[in-house]
């Protein structure tokens, strides 16, 4: 075999090897894509199922199972703010300035937040005056700073799905509060429980109650809700 023929044979063998290598590479790439697609598909299918299982377990737990203990939550003593604004409905969209931050009473919009919804994020939260209307009907609202770390927001969401105290009659909402929606909160406080109490027997005034806490505590929240039950409201039969 001449030199020219040997060179052609070598080039042909090299080309064939390159083609085999390319085919092998393409096959491996295709296999990886198929495996990755299967994994992603299984994850998409499995996530809702896992979430349903987690939510089911959460519903059976008392809210005290979530967050830190009351003694470790750095909570202030609940306030007694003079309340006002019963049935004082303002047109939807009216700018309402509240004396307290977060508000515990006052004028509000005619429509309240849905009674079946217990947890909100910034993406879907109703306006503050809508939520104040819920307070009028005996709700306790857990306001949390919109800057709260995600792990603590996740704990709040778990609380909203857990077993609430009987004193609440299921009237509970957790919602974010933005810094530009009211006066600054006390230093180090990231959550606030709010409840609007009705006129007690023999009393001429109603009060709103706020309790600021530094950390999430289902135990502290339960104590607050038992002290200010849903029946202690301006309009306890609503909702």
Q: Are residues 50 and 91 in the same domain?
A: no
**136 close to 113: Cβ distance less than 8 angstroms:** no
**Whole-number Å distance between alpha carbons of 102 and 173:** 14
Contact 164, 63 (CB under 8 A): yes
Q: Indicate whether 51 and 117 sit together in one domain.
A: no
Assess if residue 235 is contained within a domain.
Answer: no
98 & 164 share domain: yes
Do both 52 and 5 map to the same domain? yes
**Residue 85 three-state SS:** coil
Residue 31 is predicted with a pLDDT of: 77
**pLDDT lower than 70: segments of the chain:** 1-5, 7, 10, 13, 15-16, 19, 21, 23, 26, 39-59, 199-204, 238-239
Considering 41, 59, 77, which residue would you say is the last residue of a domain? 59
For the chain, how many structural domains are there in total?
2
Q: Which domain holds residue 145?
A: 63-227
Same domain, 70 and 32: no
pLDDT at 43: 58
* The dihedral sign for the CA sequence 88, 83, 133, 103: positive
Same domain? 201 vs 152: yes
Provide the pLDDT for residue 45.
Answer: 65
Q: Residue 57's Cα: distance from chain center in Å? A: 18
- pTM of the prediction? 0.76
| CA atoms of 167 and 182, how far apart (whole Å) | 29
Q: Are residues 120 and 188 in the same domain?
A: yes
Last residue in a domain, options 59, 75, 93: 59
Q: At a CB cut-off of 8 Å and minimum separation 6, what does 84 contact?
A: 105, 106, 206
């Amino acid at each position: 075999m001449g030199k020219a023929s040997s060179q052609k044979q070598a080039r042909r063998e090299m080309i064939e090897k390159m083609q085999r290598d390319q085919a092998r590479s393409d096959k491996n790439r295709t296999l990886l894509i198929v495996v990755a697609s299967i994994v992603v598909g299984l994850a998409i299918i499995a996530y809702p199922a896992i979430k349903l299982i987690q939510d089911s377990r959460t519903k059976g737990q008392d809210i005290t199972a979530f967050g830190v203990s009351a003694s470790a939550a750095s909570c202030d003593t609940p306030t007694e703010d003079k309340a006002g604004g019963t049935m004082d409905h303002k047109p939807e969209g009216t700018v309402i300035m509240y004396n307290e931050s977060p508000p515990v009473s006052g004028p509000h919009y005619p429509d309240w937040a849905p009674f079946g919804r217990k947890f909100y994020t910034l993406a879907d939260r109703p306006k503050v005056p809508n939520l104040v209307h819920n307070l009028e009907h005996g709700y306790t609202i857990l306001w949390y700073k919109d800057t709260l770390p995600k792990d603590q927001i996740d704990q709040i969401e778990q609380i909203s799905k857990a077993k609430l105290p009987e004193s609440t009659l299921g009237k509970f909402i957790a919602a974010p509060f933005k810094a530009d929606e009211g006066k600054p909160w006390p230093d180090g406080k990231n959550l606030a429980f709010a409840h609007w109490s009705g006129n007690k027997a023999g009393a001429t005034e109603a009060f709103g109650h706020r309790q600021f806490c530094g950390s999430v505590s289902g135990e502290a929240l339960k104590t607050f809700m038992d002290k200010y039950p849903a029946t202690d409201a301006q309009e306890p039969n609503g909702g």
